[in-house]
Amino acid sequence: MRIVELLNEESMTVNKKLNPVLWNGGELKSEITEKLIEIAKVFQEFIGVELDVADYTLTGSNANFTWTEYSDLDLHIIVRGMPSDEQRELYNAKKALWAEEHNIRIKNLPVECYIQGAKEPHHSTGVYSLSKNTWLIKPKKVKPNINDAAVQAKKDSIQHDIEASLISKDLPKMRLAKQKLTKMRKAGLERAGEYSVENIVFKQLRNLGMIDQLSTEIRELEDEQLSLEQAPELV
């Protein structure tokens, strides 16, 4: 079986139509649009700082022909300009906290919120404006050419590094493994887009639960380091 067929969430199979649960032909159903904008605005409030919002967009597999029943809804809040490093750090921290506290679904599809700078590179072949109710990047039915052997080799290597860091219970090693994973995906997206070997490997590892496990272990170790054990009771 080919590597791309083993991906539970992003099979890279090109469907004949956009997800009919969400779309009427090439137009997003009004109830979906309204609910996504509502979620985006609540997420904005959760961030806790004023945002100069330019648009709300839907992107990823559910704005493309590569959707499956496991694909989530990538809801992006587009802010004018380019977030600073400090702002990005805040946004990512709030995003992680939001994910811990909420499990929001539309038609049983999980909603993933992200704040994106208008000048920030975004590598997707399908982007739909919720504010304007129109395509910014209209997806095409193109069968991706994926190197299965390269995906398998890269996936095995990265998975080994993650598993080794988890077994070690070494916080710096775990942080390094996560940083390498993030940089790998970013480089792949910049080089070859969403069908790059690196991005597919990232999605494979995410589907296997490796990324969530790594993030959870890091968070628990950080909490442990910041905690102080209770003093024993005097008899």
Count of residues making up the chain: 235
76 DSSP 8-state letter: E
Same domain? For 66 and 26 the reply is: yes
* Residue 11 included in any domain: no
Ramachandran bin of 192, using left for φ above 0, alpha for ψ from -120 to 50, beta for the remaining angles:
alpha
* Residue 110 included in any domain: yes
Last residue of one domain, picked from the residues 137, 159, 180: 137
Report helix angle 210-226 to 148-168, nearest 10: 20
pLDDT, position 112: 92
* Residue 25 included in any domain: yes
Same domain? For 118 and 158 the reply is: no
Same domain? For 182 and 111 the reply is: no
* Residue 171 included in any domain: yes
Phi first, then psi, for residue 127 (nearest 5°) are -140, 125
Whole-model pTM: value is 0.72
CATH of the domain at 112: 3.30.460
pLDDT, position 43: 96
Same domain? For 178 and 211 the reply is: yes
pLDDT, position 31: 97
pLDDT, position 233: 67
Mean pLDDT per segment of 10 residues, for the chain of length 235 residues?
43 82 96 98 94 95 87 94 89 87 93 93 90 95 82 92 94 92 87 84 88 90 85 64
* Residue 103 included in any domain: yes
* Residue 1 included in any domain: no
Q: Which residue has the tokens 């790059």?
A: 196
pLDDT, position 235: 59
**Segment holding 165, helix H or strand E:** helix 148-168
CA-closest candidate to residue 126, choices 29, 198, 58: 58
Q: What is the Cα–Cα distance from 70 to 61, expressed in whole angstroms?
A: 10
pLDDT, position 172: 93
Same domain? For 126 and 167 the reply is: no
Residue 71 has which token pair? 């694909």
Same domain? For 32 and 122 the reply is: yes
pLDDT, position 2: 43
Last residue of one domain, picked from the residues 118, 137, 156: 137
Range of the domain at 206: 148-226
pLDDT, position 108: 93
How many structural domains are present in the chain? 2
Angle at 56 between CA 78 and CA 190, to 5 degrees: 50
Last residue of one domain, picked from the residues 92, 113, 137: 137
Whether 110 contacts 98, CB under 8 Å: no
Same domain? For 114 and 154 the reply is: no
Q: What is the Cα–Cα distance from 171 to 221, expressed in whole angstroms?
A: 7
